[in-house]
């Protein structure tokens, strides 16, 4: 099968986030989730956002997706302001959120229903291509209840990739899976990213996961979210999460993360 991206192929997108602050109104008053976050993500780069729960990582992902608007600051994708959701920026969540009444193929095709310029046959070809890419071509007629947790996340990944987005936003997509399944998916995701070169922003609180997947790892403060430190992960791909060089990076990142949290607790 030919690469269906030929139908609508687009270059990856550069992201520019400038002085973004986010407040929320709650029953207990105003809460600040992000504080003057600035970040540049190069086209085709894989960036991991790492920090404790509640530090605003997912909030920033929602802003990049266009699901929320910032209280202050600007977000740009490909030189254009982000003002609403777009098929060029697809989101993948911790839960697969698949339709149980549809089979695997139909779930992936669903996201292509309103994509202009594709015939029904082309939509099917695109869906089959991405199911093959994630190793599920033999399960395209299976229903969701027949799949394991890892297989469901592979379907969700295929569905997110099928519209050929420029940016893939991933919010702890492997957190609920067992260690062996996660390790397999780390290899799959790296292979697909190397092939497609989509820009990825990946949220996690798992230090080794961040070091395994990211070109860069950005450490967030606990609350409100600020970028405290950046690590460049200069290891060849594909990476093995159990390798000694990766463990050394993970140790350095964990040490820095603990140091920042200690400073915050001390009020410094």
Q: Averaged in consecutive runs of 10 residues, what is the pLDDT profile of the chain (268 residues)?
A: 51 85 84 92 95 87 95 94 91 87 93 77 90 91 93 91 91 88 90 90 94 96 88 94 95 90 70
Q: What angle do CA 133, 135, 139 make, to 5 degrees?
A: 120
pLDDT the model gives residue 36: 93
Residue 152 CA to residue 166 CA, distance in Å, equals 23
Domains of the chain (ranges; CATH) run 4-266 (3.40.50.300)
pLDDT for 38? 95
pTM higher than the cut 0.75: yes
All residues at 6 or more sequence positions from 189 whose CB lies less than 8 Å from its CB, including other chains: 157, 213
- Pairing relation of β-strands 46-50 and 29-41? unpaired
pLDDT at 54: 80
**Please, which residues have CB within 8 angstroms of residue 258's CB and are 6 or more apart in sequence?**
none
For the chain, the straight-line distance linking the first and the last C-alpha, in angstroms and rounded, comes to 58
> What pLDDT score does 167 carry?
94
Angle, in degrees to the nearest 10, between helices 179-196 and 149-161? 20
Average confidence score pLDDT of the chain: 88
pLDDT score recorded for residue 236: 94
Smallest CA-to-CA distance from 90 within 160, 156, 171, 173 is with 160
Span 129-181, pLDDT tens digits: 999 988 899 999 999 999 998 899 999 999 998 888 899 999 999 888 888 88
Q: What is the DSSP letter of 240?
A: P
pLDDT of the residue at 7: 46
Which tens digits make up the pLDDT trace of 229-238? Answer: 999 999 999 9
- pLDDT of 52: 83
């Amino acid at each position: 099968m030919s690469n269906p991206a030929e139908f609508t192929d687009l270059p990856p997108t550069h992201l520019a986030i400038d002085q973004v602050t986010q407040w929320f109104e709650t029953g207990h008053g105003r809460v600040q989730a992000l504080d003057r976050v600035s970040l540049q993500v190069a086209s085709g780069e894989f960036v991991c956002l790492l920090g404790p729960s509640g530090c605003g990582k997912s909030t920033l992902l929602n802003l990049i997706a266009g699901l929320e608007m910032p209280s202050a600051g600007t977000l740009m994708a490909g030189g254009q302001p982000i003002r609403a959701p777009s098929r060029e920026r697809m989101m993948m969540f911790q839960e697969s959120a698949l339709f149980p009444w549809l089979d695997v193929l139909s779930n992936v095709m669903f996201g292509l229903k309103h994509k202009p310029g594709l015939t029904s046959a082309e939509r099917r070809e695109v869906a089959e291509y991405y199911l093959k890419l994630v190793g599920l071509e033999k399960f395209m007629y299976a229903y969701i209840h027949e799949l394991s947790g890892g297989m469901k996340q592979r379907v969700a990944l295929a569905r997110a990739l099928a519209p050929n987005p420029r940016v893939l936003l991933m919010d702890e997509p492997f957190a609920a899976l067992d260690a062996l399944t996660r390790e397999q998916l780390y290899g799959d995701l790296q292979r697909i990213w190397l092939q497609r070169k989509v820009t990825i922003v990946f949220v996690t609180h798992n230090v080794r996961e961040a070091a395994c997947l990211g070109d860069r790892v950005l450490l967030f403060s606990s609350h409100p979210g600020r970028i405290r430190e950046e690590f460049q992960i200069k290891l060849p791909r594909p990476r093995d999460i159990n390798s000694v060089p990766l463990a050394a990076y993970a140790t350095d990142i964990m040490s820095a993360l603990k140091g920042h949290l200690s400073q915050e607790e001390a009020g410094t």
